[in-house]
A and B are shown apart, each in its own frame.
Chain A
């Protein structure tokens, strides 16, 4: 077999146990500008992450193609890298879970849709955005892309797992002008079922996201009662749940230290990781080959579990939760499909509950303005005022500040307007007691 050479060389070199994580992908993308195909790209690529145990320590190496020379490079590097490791973390190569709930996440139908058909929809999208509103002065670009990926884990304990998946994305971006003000907005659609794509719906969302921002001005700097859009909640939720990573807890750098079975959020908050839910994001084994399962991380505001891989689980004397995730050379954890349980009220009902406050629709610059460690954030934002229980004028260039822990403690209501985002997070609007807005 193609990769036998690696395992044979590894054995010869004295590597006790070895593993290959092989990611292969085929991608296609094209975009239009002024009704012309301005970019077309089609690629096949590969990522190979190798690790091995020498004297109880992990050495790691990676490459992007395969040959005998690559196998030798990986083995030599694993040996040399393992030699300098000093931490005493237990190292595991996994023999496999007893049972896996296999899910097919590859939709063959997507291959059968012709490139012409995919292209035709893109032209339609561009036209629909352009014609969507008089104030749209430019279609910043429309793009179609698709990816077919496979993840394979092979190891010296005989484990062999493969999962294939695919998806496509349509993205549209518009620029709108009114007076001296220019605003840009975008929206995207992701799925692996081409028949679900609705050009008109996406075009309308792109246009609405753009023109609705016009005519805004900053509000007074103050603390406001607020509704956060699903898009904002998605950004916050990912960082917030990052605190459940067991390694951060063990290394005393998490906001969830000693919080198991304790109240960390409003009782309205239930957050689950659902890798086995059937959708584009399904994963039936994690990056160490452990079978995944659905679990509540926070239930009615109470923290139920940390997220473990094999190493951190062994340190705490528990089982891995099947959340191992590769981040370069390091094995960390992540969720696969994170779902905030929706509530019962519509967004309009949430506005009514607020009476006077703000509706925050977007936050920017998370990598700079949100500190995942402290949970503190101060972020460029856009949104609307809420007046007399209704959405009012747009807000131009303001910041919102607060702390993630406070945001989720301050939740009064969860909306029923669930949206699914490409990052594998599903969530709805939140009504929160307070957020600090800096404007005028």
Chain B
């Protein structure tokens, strides 16, 4: 850990050439991961990360560097090297550091470091047992895994503030490969939380998670190829939120907005979605996968309403990108680890509940696609062109869920697609994912209730939908 006294000295050294902001990000992170392949423990691995990232700002410029040398000499050398990018006179001197106290919604109660490897293995093996019970020879490879991370962060900045953040994460996953004479199919289930192991004992039904993955892979073997063309699509709750995450979440980050590089620039106050749609980014969900009590710039976690009844009202903003927008950061500044310069990112992002039941939405659809499993997606925030892949889907005929189909990819423009949402369900759920962008790979929740898009382009190999 870096002492307050050393932090003040390093900040002042960094500020000598005229930076208007300096920040020390200290991180001590311990992780463990294991994998069990076809019933036998295949890998077991431990990792420690320990380093400091130093960020200097001057107007719209950023200088960033990091080091593993946490001695006074090492940190001062980093400060001296980085400050050489600026050629001005000191404008700030740090004399004291006051602690920012944030509400602790994500307490570390029983660190994963205190849980034995054998106990974690036993947990994963419960699910493995369910897969083996199916005794289906079409399952050729099944991998169960568990990964945990205890991450301690302390940040000191030239506003005279410092804070610490202690958090832990666990994620359990099953990955299935099934095969028949026609080829392979895969399925994945991976629930995670910012909670201790009790989450996997009391909240998650490990056996059901594993069984679900195995059954989806087997079902997809029997599925026909998904039809292609424009069609109505009902998107299932939970992971279906990847639609909003890609199509709108990324273009609403200040990193794109502040530079005029978002398809939503100049649209604040405009209707960018159907009036049925409200959406939030909420980093305050207690023990949520993407929650943070305080962000990397010391701004408290908040619930940000992004879209209100179809109208664009807010963005994910960090202090630095906020400078170009004349806006303060709203607690969205995040990074993967000390090797990444932080920027505005999502936390737990979802479309809010509407009034329809999922059954009503299906019943109201004559012919279309019902997409319930998703494999991720991507977006170009500037053009808003997005895509996401479906790993499990069905055809809806006359208001009923019919045959399964595979290999569907949905594409569209972020600034158009939300306008085509014509029914929103009341069954909001969240799904845990990893989101990759400029400041690395971070944990985020995606989410939504079941909803219907009146028309979207579906790519598949099954010809026209009939």
Instruction: Identify the A interface with B (CB < 8 A).
Output: 33, 36-46, 59-65, 70, 73, 77, 80-88, 138, 140-141, 175, 182-184, 218, 221, 251-253, 255, 328-330, 364-365, 367-369, 371, 373-380, 397-402, 436, 438-440
- Chain A residues with CB under 8 A of B407: 371, 376-378, 401
Please determine whether B387 and A379 come into contact, CB atoms closer than 8 angstroms. Answer: yes
Shortest distance from the beta carbon of B250 to any chain A beta carbon, whole Å: 13
Please determine whether B460 and A438 come into contact, CB atoms closer than 8 angstroms. Answer: yes
Instruction: Identify the B interface with A (CB < 8 A).
Output: 33-38, 40-51, 60-69, 81-82, 85, 117-118, 121, 140-141, 177, 179, 183-186, 226, 228-230, 259-261, 263, 339, 341, 374-378, 380, 382-389, 406-409, 411-413, 457-461, 464
Supposing A378-B460, A379-B459 touch, asked if A221 and B228 sit within 8 A by C-beta, the answer is yes
The one of B42, B341, B459 in contact with A378, judged by C-beta atoms closer than 8 angstroms, is B459
- Chain B residues with CB under 8 A of A398: 411, 457, 459
Please determine whether A329 and B81 come into contact, CB atoms closer than 8 angstroms. Answer: no
The one of B261, B375, B376, B413 in contact with A140, judged by C-beta atoms closer than 8 angstroms, is B261
Shortest distance from the beta carbon of A115 to any chain B beta carbon, whole Å: 10
Shortest distance from the beta carbon of A18 to any chain B beta carbon, whole Å: 15
Shortest distance from the beta carbon of A73 to any chain B beta carbon, whole Å: 6
Please determine whether A438 and B228 come into contact, CB atoms closer than 8 angstroms. Answer: yes
27 example contacts (A-B, Cβ-Cβ < 8 A) are as follows A45-B68, A45-B339, A59-B44, A60-B46, A62-B45, A64-B48, A64-B51, A73-B48, A83-B117, A84-B34, A84-B44, A85-B42, A182-B383, A221-B228, A253-B179, A328-B33, A330-B35, A364-B385, A365-B377, A365-B389, A368-B376, A369-B409, A369-B459, A373-B186, A378-B409, A397-B413, A399-B387
CA of A329 to CA of B340, assembled, Å: 22
Shortest distance from the beta carbon of B21 to any chain A beta carbon, whole Å: 14
The one of B35, B341, B375, B457 in contact with A368, judged by C-beta atoms closer than 8 angstroms, is B375
Shortest distance from the beta carbon of A364 to any chain B beta carbon, whole Å: 6
CA of A187 to CA of B185, assembled, Å: 35
- Chain A residues with CB under 8 A of B47: 61-63
The one of A42, A73, A380 in contact with B387, judged by C-beta atoms closer than 8 angstroms, is A380
Please determine whether B44 and A60 come into contact, CB atoms closer than 8 angstroms. Answer: yes
Supposing A367-B376, A373-B186, A436-B228 touch, asked if A61 and B341 sit within 8 A by C-beta, the answer is no
Supposing A41-B64, A81-B117, A365-B387 touch, asked if A60 and B43 sit within 8 A by C-beta, the answer is yes
Nearest-CB residue, chain A, relative to B412 = A397
Interface SS of chain A: helix, strand, loop or mixed? strand
Interface SS of chain B: helix, strand, loop or mixed? strand
The one of A43, A64, A141, A436 in contact with B49, judged by C-beta atoms closer than 8 angstroms, is A64
Shortest distance from the beta carbon of B409 to any chain A beta carbon, whole Å: 4
Please determine whether A86 and B40 come into contact, CB atoms closer than 8 angstroms. Answer: yes
- Chain A residues with CB under 8 A of B461: 376, 378, 401-402, 436
CA of A81 to CA of B32, assembled, Å: 10
CA of A77 to CA of B408, assembled, Å: 43
CA of A60 to CA of B31, assembled, Å: 12
CA of A137 to CA of B459, assembled, Å: 31
- Chain A residues with CB under 8 A of B406: 376
Please determine whether B61 and A36 come into contact, CB atoms closer than 8 angstroms. Answer: yes
Shortest distance from the beta carbon of B123 to any chain A beta carbon, whole Å: 13
- Chain A residues with CB under 8 A of B412: 397
Given contacts A62-B48, A328-B33, A373-B185, 16 further A-B contacts (CB under 8 A): A36-B60, A40-B63, A40-B64, A41-B64, A42-B81, A64-B50, A81-B46, A85-B42, A140-B261, A251-B37, A330-B35, A365-B376, A365-B409, A399-B459, A400-B459, A401-B461
